[in-house]
Amino acid sequence: MTLKSFLLVTLALVLLCGCQADLVNDICSASTNPSICNQVLRSDPRSQIAKNLRDLGQIVIDKSLEGTQATLKVVNSLGKGPEASTCVENCEDAIDSLNDCKNLIKSFNKIDISTLQTTASAALTDVDTCDDNYGEKEPLQLQQATQRAKGLIDVILVIANRL
């Protein structure tokens, strides 16, 4: 390989990597919790090969599911009671909505994008309702879990709004 070819290939790779980094920065800077967004997208190896917003969206949906499932685990560890019971139901509804989001983001239909926005909003509301249900007596561990889940679900909305 000649020096000229090597430099062209290197420049192309640098530009490609720079574009992806800008996409992640653009998405994360528009989210309600840029720190969680950056941490999640940059730590997942799939984001390095993500070609577009839909690819990043699939990663964030997977991570949102994990975060909401972790929230459900925390709630289950807190024991029984009306708050826990309602919160379990909220988390299960959010998980159902996020599973629906997985299918919707793959669609190229604008109607499905609108449904994706609505479905992700429903998931966010469900996790937020779990937060509200405990009020001032919400345990710190649950508060941290719901904040992470909500931060990730918000990124789905940022991406959906740009599709």
- CATH of residue 63's domain is 1.20.140.40
pTM (2 d.p.): 0.85
The alpha helices in the chain, defined as continuous H runs, are: 3-29, 34-43, 46-49, 53-77, 82-104, 110-134, 140-162
Across the chain, which has 163 residues, the per-10-residue mean pLDDT values are 50 45 88 96 93 94 98 95 95 98 84 92 98 93 97 98 92
- Per the structure, the count of domains in the chain is 1
What domain range is 79 assigned to?
Answer: 3-162
